[in-house]
Structure 1
């Protein structure tokens, strides 16, 4: 039997324009699985991640595995980081904000270099092998949204998805009947809404339900969401140096993914909210949702770096899709408070814990890079990265689902994009000053809610190297504005301004 869960209401659910209740996987999930941004060692991050033509940095292997071939010695690096994020939400002129702080391990890398005996600098000059880890995403975030709105309530949504489909006897449990098990996950919201009085009155003639609050009444909205988890990649790469002119490399990446979402969506009735003819009066409701996604996958990367002259490097790399296997766990509950003939009564309905396993393929990726070395003291570098988000695909659901409709939606919603990364470095003795910028355009086609939701990253840093020891510092600022709707396209969208600040410190030792 197909299992369903609701589309999360929180700030990461930016695709809720496609409907509040979708099947167990949705378009926002696909985007979350597929997007990665500037992350890794402090030097890599401070230069915008524009390392496809440079190499000789462990995190550069994630862009172009030929970068491991550029190493002339072995190296060990470790990079702890501190992230602080502020999410500022605006809904109908009402603003609210929340913060989240987090310490991470963003990089742990080890490179070995083997040099065959050569009497001249021709042929294969080095075989290099690397092992290590790069964090690719951090999902820790808090967000809160507040607001008032007339004429709309989530009860209207519950009525719309229930009308004409289920009678009260189908939704209400008895000693020998459990509607959650009998009707399946697609009915969970209807079951909970009915058993907490949000679907207040049933008209058997039309098969429709009347919400517990009148449409002309105003309600106070509040949505609190918390996300946790992250994704990372364990990489094994092999590269060669051919005549100090051509560097070739290949890598195998083993990815891990862990994401947890909790939200509480609340509606409080205004003081003017009238009682029902029988005296019942609605006061408030809480709709809680929980989703946990765990998975792992693998990908392959190949690449090359060519140096036509010592001052110029040209890089090209290709990434296969990452082939993921995922398992979702999810549940929800509704709690309501009514004044029933003068007595306060609380109703609660809890869904069971649902589970669903499936597979997913991210888009393939191609990156072209150019770097210019300036008098052995400085450099500028650019990466141009192309991928097509419309090619994301869900595969092989645990119930045999082929996800035909969902994959078709992704093709109609997303587009191909070209990401840009720029970086520069200037050395003054043992000190290196660095700066970078990365631009990630919106993956949505024109006309969708977040078609202008680009991501910009501004970075800078400083490095110190003496002998075989190096210390690098980086600061990264990430800017993004995201829109979402609660449950109905007729309701104005919420705008979240997401502002990340991250500090990274890399300790390196070459041998």
Structure 2
């Protein structure tokens, strides 16, 4: 009966949000996915068009198609994370197979007008695959008690105490709902046995001490994430005379994200605590909207230029979280605070910055092409709303102070030998952080192959990116991050048919 009551309370509870700078970055990222041809050239299609995934860069590209077309793409995602934490190395890998692109275009031609062509395209792309694993271990001088102390210090002790006749899980949810995330973590640290107030007889006490005795502790952290950020494009494009293509798109985004973290700490010196575990679960879902405008111009038979604007993405998201903690000094009923006890966050909005892209391509008839895209996005303009929320205000201050402009360069080429196409590309994305250390620059390359037979084409692509990040285990208290090298490798197979 007790677990049932806890779950019922969780379903109606909401707490002050704990969103931060990581959310704004995570839902802005778009991996190199899409059709195999697009991936084989590292996505450098802004001045080319003629590919359904190219509509992610420039919506005018739909008018380059000469006939109706359908394509579908399957990708295998391999992710490898090498983590170093206090000189201990751990590696985690993951493989996932996904249908990451499906779409088509209808082309209507006119022989009696300067507007020679109208194209209507619909395309689905999996722009971000969140399936990933991290394993981090090391001997640290910063215990999990630091996490709880960072929240507890400054919080009055009296309101943290459960009332007579109140279940521990009810008090946990009630504090989250009425006092907020900070007080809830202080409550969890106290009843989890990690911290105590300096003066337990004073309800106004705002200073806390640790129950953990150590110089260093052994820590093991496991993080598993699942989910996706998908994008459905409804695109309208037209060709004016022989040399100008114009386009606009409405973009509908969908997010599903789950993160499970498991933290274990041992190796304490003599004292009441010998082992602590602290696990967290986060579920996020929602949708977003953006629009894009673009143009492509043929300057002559060889040179093409393109320009596009993608509006901010307005995401509306909801979160729910669960936590559990245990230690030798925890309250006897601490096990009733578990993943069946659910905190529902209030709905919130993330607005990502707009993006500008300029493109140049050289087309050498039927022999091949070279293409270059340059993108610019100022991440310091990202925003989490409502801004009236003090937690969001602090996160927005951090965004504006720590993030900066991001330049993206994509270079791709294709060489054709009759019915065979050989492709290669390079991708660079600047760190969104001003210090360039929290997240490093991203570098990647790609290779591709295509074979055309009749109205059909089969494409294969291989692309790989690497990036170094400093990953903190928790948002507060444990300030020394793990240094992680993230290597993503995609192998993609695509099929296209012309009608």
Matches within 5 A, 1:224-263: 224-263=222-261
Which stretch of the first structure deviates more once superposed, 171-180 or 382-391?
171-180
2:10 matches 1:3: no
Residue among 65, 71, 78 paired with 2:65: 71
Aligned to 2:401: 412
Residue 425 (str. 1) matches residue 414 (str. 2): yes
In the other structure, the counterpart of 2:100 is 106
Residue equivalent to 1:435: 424
Is residue 203 of structure 2 the alignment partner of residue 211 of structure 1? no
Point out where structure 2 has 5 or more consecutive residues left out of the alignment. 1-12
Provide the rounded CA distance (Å) in 2 between the counterparts of 1:370 and 1:164.
Answer: 56
CA distance in 2, matches of 1:405, 1:184: 15
Q: CA RMSD in A?
A: 2.4
Match of 2:373 among 355, 380, 383: 383
Q: Give 2:171's aligned residue.
A: 179
- In structure 1, the partner of 2:6 is none
Match among 186, 193, 196 for residue 189 of structure 2:
193
Following superposition, the deviation at residue 467 of structure 1 comes to 1.7
Map of 1:507 onto structure 2? 495
* Superposed displacement of residue 88, structure 1: 1.1
Structure 1 residues 33-42 or 427-436, which shifts more? 33-42
Q: What is the alpha-carbon distance in structure 2 between the residues aligned to residue 269 and residue 286 of structure 1?
A: 13
The answer on whether the counterparts of 1:68 and 1:237 sit within 8 Å (CA) in structure 2 is: yes
> What is the distance in 2 between the residues matched to 1:359 and 1:346?
36
Distance (Å, rounded) in 2 between the aligned partners of 1:95 and 1:323: 39
Partners of 1:63 and 1:157 in 2: how far apart? 42
Quote the Cα distance in structure 2 between the aligned partners of 1:289 and 1:475. 35
Q: Is the alpha carbon distance of 1:66 and 1:402 closer, same or farther for their aligned partners in structure 2, counting shifts above 3 Å?
A: farther
Cα distance in structure 2, aligned partners of 1:308 and 1:169: 71
Match of 2:386 in 1: 396
CA distance in 2, matches of 1:115, 1:207: 73
Q: Does structure 2 conserve the Cα–Cα contact (< 8 Å) formed by 1:168 and 1:202?
A: no
CA 1:220–1:392: 2 relative to 1, 3 Å: same
TM-score by length of 2: 0.89
Choose the corresponding residue for 2:449, options 462, 470, 478: 462
Residue number among 350, 364, 368 corresponding to 1:360 in the alignment: 350
CA 1:418–1:184 in 2, change beyond 3 Å: closer, same or farther? closer
Give the drift of 1:297: 1.2
Q: Aligned equivalents of 1:144 and 1:402: distance in 2? A: 29
- What SS does the aligned partner of 1:423 have? strand
The aligned runs of 1:115-126 (5 Å cut-off) are: 115-118=109-112, 123-126=114-117
Q: Aligned equivalents of 2:353 and 2:479: distance in 1? A: 33
Q: Please report the TM-score for the alignment, with normalisation by the length of structure 1.
A: 0.87
Query: Could you tell which deviates more after superposition, 327-336 or 177-186?
Result: 177-186
| Stretch deviating more after TM superposition (39-48 or 183-192) | 183-192
- Which SS does the other structure have where 1:203 is aligned? coil
Partner of 1:337: 328
Aligned length: 474
Specify whether residues 424 and 470 from structure 1 end up closer, same or farther in structure 2 by C-alpha distance, changes over 3 A only: same
Q: CA deviation at 1:208?
A: 3.4
Quote the Cα distance in structure 2 between the aligned partners of 1:406 and 1:82. Answer: 35
477-486 vs 399-408, greater mean Cα deviation: 399-408
Residues 348, 192 of structure 1: CA spacing in aligned structure 2 closer, same or farther, 3 A cutoff? Answer: farther
Q: Is the 8 A contact 2:160 2:183 kept in 1?
A: no
Contact 2:149–2:477 under 8 Å retained in 1: no
Distance, in Å, in 2 between the alignment partners of 1:507 and 1:365 is: 30
Q: What residue number does 1:90 align with?
A: 84
**Distance in 2 separating the partners of 1:28 and 1:287:** 21
- 1:369 matched to 2:362: no
Per mean C-alpha deviation after superposition, the further-off stretch among 241-250 and 309-318 is: 241-250
Q: Tell me how far apart the structure 2 counterparts of residues 302 and 339 of structure 1 sit (CA, whole Å).
A: 57
Distance change (3 Å), C-alpha of 1:468 and 1:218 = same
Structure 1 position 169, deviation (Å): 7.1
1:155 equivalenced with 2:145 (yes/no): yes
Which whole-Å CA distance do the structure 2 matches of 1:57 and 1:460 have between them? Answer: 17
Tell me if the contact between 2:146 and 2:477 (Cα under 8 Å) persists in the aligned partners: no
Q: CA deviation at 1:173?
A: 5.1
1:453-484 per-position Cα deviation (integer Å, ceiling 9, x unaligned): 11112111100012210000000111111102
Which residue does 1:477 correspond to in 2? 464
Distance 1:202 1:472 in 2: 67
Unmatched tracts of structure 1, length 5 or more:
5-22, 276-280
Cα deviations across residues 230-277 of structure 1 (Å, max 9, x unaligned)?
11111111111222211111111111111111101111124xx213xx
Residues 88-116 of structure 1, C-alpha deviations (whole Å, 9 max, x = no match): 11011100111111111111011111112
Whether the aligned pair in 2 keeps the contact of 1:361 and 1:392 (CA below 8 Å) is yes
In structure 2, what is the equivalent of residue 138 of structure 1?
A: 129
In the aligned structure 2, how far is the partner of 1:203 from the partner of 1:365? 54
Q: Give the Cα separation in 1 of the matches to 2:226 and 2:409.
A: 28
